[in-house]
Amino acid sequence: MRADRSIYSVVVEHSGMTGPVEAVLFDIDDTLCEYCRTSSDLLDHSFDEVGVEPFFTSEEYYAVFEDYIDVAEDTEEIRERAFAGLAEEKGFDPEVGHEVAGAYAEARDHRNVRFLDGAKEALETMAERYPLAAVTNGDPEMQSKKLDSLGAGDYFETVVFAGFDTAAKPDPAPFEHALDVLGVDAARAVKVGNSLEHDVRGAHNAGLRSVWLDRDGIANPDPEPHYRIESMRGLLDEPWE
């Protein structure tokens, strides 16, 4: 029996997007998995290690993260630059920011992750029905450790590390690269992710249908996804059917 379709928000305005789905692309962070140790807890630990009172929050960090993607080699360098910039903005020596970033990197274990509720079952089920790819804004070493810890790497025919293999999401390039490997047209694929900006907008930029994981019940999302699910279990009913 199909689940209650009231949990889905469906948009069918896009021409060419009403045919059968032949491939599913997944985001990784906060879609398939999350860290067991939150960023806020880790940041508090890092300030304590350096011996300074916290002078910015994890939300402030994430707000400036993308400002450094194009000028850094990997996530650790992005973090170092972001922390140094935030330190200077708050009236601290940028070197203090570097020290906090070092403590953060030392304590962060990229293998210490867990599946979101329903994500493992959704991934296993989709892999039985469709070819899969992962498209993630994250450096290869960090994201590969997560997939390895979860035992999830073999589900994907390809993993595209956007921002490293290609331009970062929401640029269409990482989606197009994944579809080239899968041999599937964009109009016959869906992208599953939690980010309106990266996953939904990126999917639309590349001509894919979007499935947005909305765990917070956000009203009037922009851009509006083709489908909305409240948990990863919502994929089991294939909202595009």
pLDDT of residue 63: 94
pLDDT of residue 104: 97
Please tell me whether residues 132 and 47 are part of one structural domain. Answer: no
pLDDT(14) > 70: no
- The whole-chain average pLDDT of the chain stands at 92
Q: What pTM, to 2 d.p., does this model score? A: 0.86
pLDDT(77) > 90: yes
pLDDT of residue 110: 95
Better-predicted residue by pLDDT, 2 or 178: 178
Task: Tell the residue number behind the tokens 């016959």, with chain if given.
Answer: 188
pLDDT of residue 74: 87
- Weakest mean pLDDT among 60-69, 113-122, 132-141: 60-69
Task: Tell the residue number behind the tokens 């589900």, with chain if given.
Answer: 155
Beta-strand pair 23-26/132-137: parallel
pLDDT(109) > 90: yes
- Determine the average pLDDT of the residues in 30-52: 97
Residue 19: pLDDT band (50, 70, 90) is: confident
Task: Give the domain range for residue 73.
Answer: 39-107
- Determine the average pLDDT of the residues in 4-22: 52
Residue 69: pLDDT band (50, 70, 90) is: confident
**Three-point CA angle 26, 68, 51, nearest 5°:** 105
pLDDT of residue 73: 86
Please tell me whether residues 150 and 206 are part of one structural domain. Answer: yes
pLDDT(8) > 90: no
pLDDT of residue 1: 22
The Cα–Cα gap between 147 and 43 comes to: 23
Share of the chain above pLDDT 90, in %: 85
Write the DSSP symbol of residue 165: T
Please tell me whether residues 10 and 66 are part of one structural domain. Answer: no
Task: Tell the residue number behind the tokens 């403590």, with chain if given.
Answer: 103
Which has the closest alpha carbon to 230: 222, 190, 239? Answer: 239
pLDDT of residue 17: 64
- Please name the residues in contact with 89: beta carbons below 8 A apart, sequence gap of 6 or more: none
Please tell me whether residues 19 and 137 are part of one structural domain. Answer: yes
Please tell me whether residues 219 and 131 are part of one structural domain. Answer: yes
Please tell me whether residues 77 and 196 are part of one structural domain. Answer: no
Please tell me whether residues 141 and 184 are part of one structural domain. Answer: yes
Count how many domains the chain has: 2
What pLDDT digit, counting tens, does each position of 127-158 carry? 999 999 999 998 999 999 999 999 999 999 99
pLDDT(15) > 60: no
Number of H helices, E strands in the chain: 8, 8
Question: Dihedral, CA atoms, 173, 118, 241, 129, nearest 10 degrees?
Answer: 70
Domain boundary among 89, 107, 125: 107
pLDDT of residue 72: 85
- Determine the average pLDDT of the residues in 234-238: 97
